[in-house]
Structure 1
Amino acid sequence: MVKASEGSFRAASAMASLRFTGVAMLLLVATSTVVTADTSSDDVTALNTFYTSLNSPSQLTNWVPQNGDPCGQSWLGITCSGSRVITIKLPGMGLKGTLGYNMNILTALVELDVSYNNLGGSDIPYNLPPNLERLNLGNNSFTGTLPYSISQMAALKYLNLGHNQLSDINVMFSQLTNLTALDLSDNTFSGTLPESFSSLTSLTMLHLQNNRFSGTIDVLSDLPLTDLNVANNQLSGAIPDRLKSISNLQTSGNSFSNSPAAQAQPPPTYTPSPPRQPSTGNPGKSDTTPSTRSNGVNGGDDSGGGGGRSSKIGGGAVAGIVMSLVVLGAMVAFFMIKRKSMRDQRGHDPEKNEPLRPIASGKFNQLRAINIVSPAAKDGLHKTVSMNLKPPSKIELHKSFDESDPTNKPVMAKSIDLSSIRATAYTVADLQTATDSFSADNLIGEGSFGRVYSANMSDNKVLAVKKINFSALPSNPSNFFIDLVVNISKLNHPNISELDGYCSEHGQCLLAYEFYRNGSLHDFLHMPDGYSKPLSWNSRVKIALGSARALEYMHETCSPSVIHKNFKSSNILLDDELNPHLSDCGFADLIPKQELQESDENTGYRAPEVTMSGQYSQKSDVYSFGVVMLELLTGRKAFDRSQPWPQQSLVRWATPQLHDIDALDQMVDPALEGLYPAKSLSRFADAIALCVQPEPEFRPPMSEVVQSLVRLVQRSSMGSVLSGESNSRRYQDSE
């Protein structure tokens, strides 16, 4: 019995051991399965943001806006290797929105294909995945400038940006030696081909058709191209002999001197492609088929028939008739081309109700037209503007406004449609009376573009009148100024200084704005007059949030987007309730003239890439905004020579301390007297740190900055800041 019991016990022990081992094995397998399927946290974060930026479309099965497991849960279009996402393929999905702001953390991603959607409406984000081999953003609605971060993608082999609305190339191609296919077709690129194209030593396919490129194509002569399409541009010169041997070469619609059709007829004018509808057919194939046009020219035999017939018209007369027809045809062609050229320079056809088209940055012949899109999509962003127009709907500018115009240069005749200017047209007499003939007593400041005077109008309204320096204007100040007024009047946002009126007569260029009695943020922070109370923490957050919303509107609501280029605390005006109003908006095309007028103040706000290359972008505005946030936090100037050398540059001094709680407390403006919530201060500093990143691709878009400030306000129970009401009471962080 004892032995039997011992045997039974051993058997039971063996069975229990086997069961434990089996359970352990199952647990081990299950655990290993979870680990294998668990996606990298960085990749999850980036895809969550991307999904939110696409407005959380239902067609992306298994995608979620927070957390989730893209690799383990088989998110649509996602391919993984281990725990890392390596491809995103979502062509032809009917997606809207844009790319996520933090896709640069997808460091294992080698292919991104979101072609044939409706993404864009703004610039392509800077922070693209850095190690991509294939990038396909073709057939979308991206506008503006190519992000400079593409310059750093050394592994890139295929790049398709065709069929968008891109206008500027801000990419150096020197490092893209692995690139084999590049498609920039059907955009609005202009200017000469980038010299760095010559570094694309692996490039075999290049599609540039249906743009506005000009100059020669000599820079392509040494590339190993087998497929080149430059049709329908404004290119000229000779086609290099090396390129003539390419099996697939399309050059029609240009002015090449050695093109077969160059002598046969004038080059056809370029007609922009009609707006593309979202594609539903064959989304997987990129639309890179060359666009060809039939010249419709038949060689014809000029020898004629019936050589034995005797003509009653002499040979000299025939020759004269032929020559007359040739001359007449040449004149007609010349004026047609000239008329097209003038339309392109003005941006629209005066006989058609077409919107102005953007021009390449840095040119002074006209300003970019600003069209506001989707006004209903931005709640609370818009204010109505008076449309009290004194002049007739059209005004002819046949000469300078006044013979005493200091520029003393003739102005081309130009018909300006003033019906789109939502502001009052004042006379010089109106403004002279209101400013006591621009007396020194009424001088309230001098900005980058001229002096500013207070004006007491006859209806008891007080305005700030900016008298534009002629030195800041290009060669035709009259035309340029009217274009400037048209564009400024279209900017309509509660946090942008409102244009009340303008004056353009007797050689004067004057802009009248609403007057804000509290002056600029710079003066409020750095030049206390003994009457103003220090800004509370609540007010500082409100000023930061309102200013951020103004930049967000300019960058992401205006079409094309508007870059400020001169964002600083002296351009933030405060009303009676300390609400911010951004000034000098729409003056970006004057900035190149002002770059020679350097100052310590401007140096403190300038992003590193602007200092090095002069390249402004939305991200340089973001950097300048971060500097203003630092001013609000510390009470210090952006650049102050009175400080010891290590502390003269506010960014250089403050940035290393933004994530150190103890150091942060020491940095805060003493005028606050410690009356601020510690957690709100820390979140404010986190937003600053992102904005003043030295690399532009790592700075967030302004919409993300706005959201971070909104979350700061919500978590701190600062409801009055969101509603725009003034509130200077002390409060405690709700957390």
Structure 2
Amino acid sequence: MTVASMERGGRSRGAAAIGAVLLFLAASSSLGARANTDSNDVTALGVFYTTMNSPPQLKNWVSQNGDPCGQSWTGVTCSGSRVTAINLPGMGLNGTLGYNMNLLTALVQLDMSNNNLGGSDIPYNLPPNLEKLNLAGNHFTGTTPYSISQMFTLKDLNLGHNQLSTISDMFNSLTNLTTMDLSFNTFSGNIPQSFNSLTSLKTLYMQNNQFSGTIDVLANVPLTDLNVANNKFTGWVPDKLKKINNLQTTGNSFSNGPAPPPPPGTTPAPQRPAVPSSSGSNALSDSGSKHSKLQGGAVAGIVICLLVVGAIVTFFVIKRKSWKLSLRRDPEQNEPLSPLASGFKHMKSIKIISTTGKDQFQKTVSMSLKPPTKIDLHKSFDENDLTSKSVARKISLSSIRIPAYTVADLQIATGSFSPDNFISEGSFGRVFKAQFDDQKVLAVKKINFSAFPSYPSDLFIELVANISRLNHPNLAELVGYCSEHGQCLLAYEFYRSGSLHDLLNLVDDQNKPLSWNSRVKIALGSARALEYLHETCSPSVIHKNFKSSNILLDNELNPHLSDSGYADLIPNQEFQESEENSGYRAPEVAMSGQYSLKSDVYSFGVVMLELLTGRKPFDRSRPRSEQSLVRWATPQLHDIDALDQMVDPALQGLYPSKSLSRFADAIALCVQAEPEFRPPMSEVVQSLVRLVQRANMTRMSGCESYTGRHGESGDYGV
């Protein structure tokens, strides 16, 4: 081999080596060009950046096709390809959190404190596996999102210094929470009972709110630092809490002196075991017991308690038999009371507490000093009477702030309830239009108590009081009542556009088809009505009869939910099994007859399906596979092509496809078969609000447009 050939070979091998290196670098470059971040995390942070109005101070952040982990976004920490922490305190950020933060499943820390975020509710789709959540020092309003209740790993929660007003009872599963700050908001009402499940909580700040009631629920929480100053708390500070070194309670109305014993039904504080000694009998003597000569105070006390409990139980057995006999007598006979009955003459209440092992049974019998004038003589007085309806139920008429009409007034206004003024017949009675001399128009409902034999008509005033306390712009307003001559009538505002059921099913020349905008508006207003009943009222109000015929519409198509507060009118079997209501009943209601907040959510989802499809919840005229709206529609809600085929033909294709898809997503959550998987109404409201907000943003950017009916191109009216 010549020198020249060797040189040529060397050059050839050198060129090959250089080529290999270049190929390796190119491959490395192409690998590096691919995003290092999980696609779900990229999507969530891109939306987050947009909802914060694309702040320039967040270096390297972009709304699309970004790489948070590979490009070192400001405030973002990663582990591998997953985003694990977002820390952006005090950055002057505005806007709000992203609506799909739940995609950040590896995120354990989110600190957005001391910014200008909010002006609306905290989004409900928060990252599910957070250990630290800090949203303090912003402008969030409304309700604490229910998704926090599912953060089982959460240790540190700070929502202080916002404008939050409602706190959900959602803390049962937060057993790892050690620090919680709710201070400087506008929270009101009692402390949620689920606080007693916070078995790891050491630090709790609740100062400068409007909480009321007692703080007894905190007695068994292992707190070392507690601040409840400047609220509206009353009662006593429990002895256990007084032992906390860092305790601040000023600015409340707490009572001085030792706290009373815990209320019946609460878990008693652990006591030291009794040791037999001479002090035992002395204690009995000091209390004035006639058994003070017994030795061994602890044993004597137990024996006495058993004797007393046995005597009371025997007493009630005899009493019950005696009452059953006495109640069968003619009430007009002036027979003297039996010794047992007269014994109750001066008794207001008796409490029976029987403890066996770990089970505790307690009953409180409330007796009126003056019995009601009307008594059902054919119904025995038993335990069901005690648990369901107290014998002594007195509602002060002065507490009812709405006017009382006379039967004569309403007869004149309705033309003696003539067929010409008949509006409809609902589950609880007939409704008539009432025209008064001052041109005021009301809708008068005649309650038919014969359909509800378990609910005596003499409790009508209590029903009126309960309904009149409900106050929300999306509830039908009760403006008067009538209770005389055996008549039970309720007077409501008259809503001229009729019910949603009629507008969807009785389309004619006078009733134009509802536009997509109007349907979203009706869904949102109805959701807000249920949210008020479920999460603002205390205790929560279950509607039990949520359906499109109970959604009344005014001239601007604002929805007003009727029949709210009727839950105590337990329907008879015919009502429960009526075909009209069958399509709205949640599976668990159909099986057990037991209603709940989540069964209302299911019924709301069915109404949303009516708005989407224009179909009835149950329609026997359709093929068998399509008769049940939920069964027919549910499998198609996530199929965009099938979804287009499901839409009410009356819309004539005039709807934005993205809005339709998000509407369907909310429906799918509400009509899930398992009640525990259905969202609370506050989350449904938030999802519909975001649907409207995103639709408005999209139209403003010109990315998606359409023209609705009646000049409603894009105005959701919210």
Report the 3-state secondary structure (helix = DSSP H, G, I; strand = E; otherwise coil) of the residue aligned with 1:547.
helix
Provide, for residues 585-641 of structure 1, a one-character-per-residue CA deviation record: whole Å limited to 9, x for no partner. 8x86x3655686875666745779999883479xx76x6554334224555432568
Verify: 1:215 aligned to 2:208, yes or no: no
- 1:519-598 superposed matches below 5 A: 519-525=498-504, 539=514, 541-548=516-523, 550=525, 568-572=547-551, 580-584=557-561, 590=565, 593=568
List aligned pairs for 1:259-338, cutoff 5 A: none
Matched, 1:182 2:157: no
What residue is the counterpart of 1:14 in the other structure?
Answer: 13
Contact preservation (8 Å) 1:122, 1:556: no
Structure 1 unaligned blocks of 5 or more? 264-406, 419-424, 727-735
Report the 3-state secondary structure (helix = DSSP H, G, I; strand = E; otherwise coil) of the residue aligned with 2:157.
strand
CA contact (8 A) 1:443 1:452 kept: yes
Aligned equivalents of 1:441, 1:680: Cα separation in 2: 42
- Structure 1: how far apart are the matches of 2:479 and 2:693? 35
**Residue 109 of structure 1, aligned match among 107, 110, 120:** 107
Deviations 1:352-383 (A, max 9, x none): xxxxxxxxxxxxxxxxxxxxxxxxxxxxxxxx
Query: C-alpha offsets along residues 36-61 of structure 1, whole Å, 9 cap, x if unaligned?
Result: x5322212222233233334444444
Name the counterpart of 2:712.
Answer: 724
Counterpart residue number, 2:137: 139
1:10-40 Cα offsets, whole Å, 9 max, x none, are: 23322322322222232233234334x5322
Query: Could you tell me how far 1:655 is from its partner in structure 2?
Result: 1.0
Identify if the C-alpha distance between structure 1 residues 524 and 615 changes in structure 2 by more than 3 Å, giving closer, same or farther. Answer: closer
1:567 Cα shift?
Answer: 6.0
- Shift in Å at residue 152 of structure 1? 1.9
Say yes or no: does 1:614 pair with 2:592.
no
- One of 465, 489, 507 as aligned partner of 2:443: 465
Cα displacement (A) at 1:707: 5.6
Q: Secondary structure of the residue that 1:583 maps to in structure 2?
A: strand
* Structure 1 residue 514: Cα displacement: 4.6
Displacement of 1:180 in angstroms is: 1.4
Instruction: Show CA shifts across 1:378-407 (max 9, x none).
Output: xxxxxxxxxxxxxxxxxxxxxxxxxxxxx9
3-state SS of 1:150 partner: helix
Measure how far apart 1:108 and its partner are: 0.8
* Alpha-carbon distance in structure 2 between the residues aligned to 1:63 and 1:468: 62
Tell me, yes or no, if structure 1 residue 83 matches structure 2 residue 81: yes
Aligned-residue CA RMSD in angstroms?
5.3
Distance 1:455 1:256, change over 3 A: closer
**Inter-CA distance 443–51: structure 2 relative to 1 (3 Å threshold):** farther
- What's the CA shift for 1:534? 11
| Counterpart pick for 1:68 among 51, 66, 81 | 66
Is the 1:134–1:158 contact (alpha carbons within 8 Å) kept by the matching residues of 2?
yes
8 Å Cα contact 1:427/1:503 also seen in 2: no
Summarize the Cα distance change of 1:594–1:110 in structure 2 as closer, same or farther, 3 Å threshold: farther
For 1:497 and 1:204, the matched residues in 2 are separated by 41
Amino acid corresponding to residue 609 of structure 2 in structure 1? L
Pick closer, same or farther for the CA change 1:661–1:206 going to 2, 3 Å.
closer
In the alignment, what sits opposite 1:704? 690
CA contact (8 A) 2:395 2:465 kept: no
CA distance in 2, matches of 1:466, 1:521: 19
Per-residue deviation, 1:192? 4.9
Change (3 A) 1:149 1:722: farther
Mean CA deviation greater in 193-202 or 131-140: 193-202
Counterpart of 1:445, as a letter, is S
Distance of 2:253 and 2:435 partners within structure 1: 58
Distance of aligned partners of 1:691 and 1:415 in 2 relative to their CA distance in 1, 3 Å threshold: closer
CA contact (8 A) 1:450 1:468 kept: yes
**TM-aligned CA distance change 1:548 to 1:186, over 3 Å:** same
Q: Secondary structure at the match of 1:704?
A: helix
The one-letter code matched in structure 2 to 1:453 is F
TM-score normalised over the length of structure 2: 0.60
The equivalent residue for 2:339 is none
The number of residues matched between the two structures is: 542
**What one-letter code is carried by the residue in structure 2 that aligns with 1:116?**
N
- Counterpart in 2 of 1:401? none
The correspondence of residues 628-667 of structure 1 with structure 2, limited to 5 A, is: 628-639=607-618, 650-660=629-639
**8 Å CA contact 1:410, 1:476 repeated in 2:** no
Tell me the distance in 2 between the aligned counterparts of 1:679 and 1:582.
21
Gaps of 5+ in 2: 261-392, 448-456
Report the CA distance between 1:230 and its aligned residue: 3.1
Q: For residue 607 of structure 2, give the secondary structure of its aligned residue in structure 1.
A: helix
606-615 or 541-550: which moved more? 606-615
> Does the CA contact (< 8 Å) of 2:522 and 2:558 recur in 1?
yes
Counterpart CA distance in 1 for 2:252 and 2:121 is: 29
Secondary structure of the equivalent of 2:561?
Answer: coil
Aligned to 2:492: 511
Normalising by structure 1, we get a TM-score of: 0.59
| 1:688 to partner: Cα distance | 1.4
Residue aligned with 2:692, SS: helix
> Which SS does the other structure have where 1:444 is aligned?
strand
Q: Secondary structure at the match of 2:84?
A: strand
Contact 2:187 2:211 in 1 (8 A): yes
- Note the C-alpha offset of 1:106: 0.8
User: Which position in structure 1 is the counterpart of 2:51?
Assistant: 53
Q: Is the 8 A contact 1:148 1:170 kept in 2?
A: yes
Q: 2:623 & 2:458 partners in 1: Cα distance?
A: 36
Asked if the contact 1:411/1:479 (under 8 Å) is kept, the reply is no
Does the 8 Å CA contact 2:706/2:713 hold for their aligned counterparts? no
Q: 1:81 to 1:135 in 2, by over 3 A?
A: same
Provide the secondary structure at the position in 1 that maps to 2:68.
Answer: coil
Matched with 2:25 is: 26
Equivalent residue letter for 2:708: S
Relative to structure 1, the CA distance from residue 679 to residue 604 in structure 2 (aligned partners, 3 Å threshold; closer, same or farther) is: same
The yes-or-no answer on 1:684 pairing with 2:666 is: no
Shift, 1:575, TM fit: 8.8
Give 3-state SS (helix, strand or coil) of 2:114's partner: coil
TM-superposed deviation, 1:555: 10
User: What is the letter of the counterpart of residue 245 of structure 2?
Assistant: S
